[in-house]
Structure 1
Amino acid sequence: MSTFLFLYRGYVTPTPEIGRAWMEWFESVGDRMVDSGNPLSGGAEVTPDGVTELPLGPDSLTGYSVVRAADRDEALALAATNPMVTSVVVHELARM
């Protein structure tokens, strides 16, 4: 099994229906969920040139989870079932 970071992109104002869809998705993932993560609020990007505020919007990173999957294909298939707003960015976590 490999471990994958799911980064959720996109923001809409939460509704009870959205919350229910996420809870149902977390339940469907079951024991493959390593860390259900947390929602992210507006952030900031720090570069050598300074700090840029990152407001919530369609391109914002808005949360993360860590899941186990047999391989990348299984992780991508699982991400496709997520009640995403815009997209789910999937990265395999390197073993160190």
Structure 2
Amino acid sequence: MPQFMLIYHGGKRPETEADIKRSMDAWGSWMGTHGPKLADPGNPVGQSWTVSASGTVDNGGANPVSGYTIVNANSIAEACEMASSNPIVADGGSVEVAEIVPIEM
């Protein structure tokens, strides 16, 4: 079955205990709904750096990554459907969906 990366951008970092509980509950519910299809439930990420031929900057680029998940899905449409219900979308963020293309060596 194909695998897809869900790459998270933006969203809000919970600040209060109530916000943390709400966020954890939303993520727990989303993961529970899609549990068997989560190849790697992923994690949030820290400050990203951008490395290019012109050097390295610590600004994360135009659209910094805030986390990731790897899912098993039959198609990119199915992976996008999974992403559409992700809690980061409700928090004002977005999800980039890309198929992982295996390389045979």
When normalised by structure 2's length, the TM-score is 0.81
Higher strand share: 1
In 2, are the aligned partners of 1:11 and 1:60 still within 8 Å (CA)?
no
After superposition, the CA RMSD in angstroms is: 1.4
2:51 is matched with 46
| Matching residue within 59, 65, 72 for 1:61 | 65
Cα distance in 1, alignment partners of residues 22 and 43 from structure 2 = 18
1:29 is matched with 34
From the CA coordinates, give the structure whose radius of gyration is larger: 2
Identity of aligned residues (%): 30
**Count of paired positions:** 93
Higher helix share: 2
Give 1:47 shift: 1.3
Give 1:54 shift: 2.2
Deviations 1:18-67 (A, max 9, x none): 12111111111111000011110112111121111126xxx421100100
SS of corresponding position for 2:28: helix
Cα distance in 2, alignment partners of residues 41 and 31 from structure 1 = 27
Cα distance in 2, alignment partners of residues 36 and 65 from structure 1 = 5
Cα distance in 1, alignment partners of residues 47 and 87 from structure 2 = 20
When normalised by structure 1's length, the TM-score is 0.87
2:25 is matched with 20
4+ runs deviating over 3 angstroms = none
User: Where does structure 1 lack aligned partners over 5 or more consecutive residues?
Assistant: none
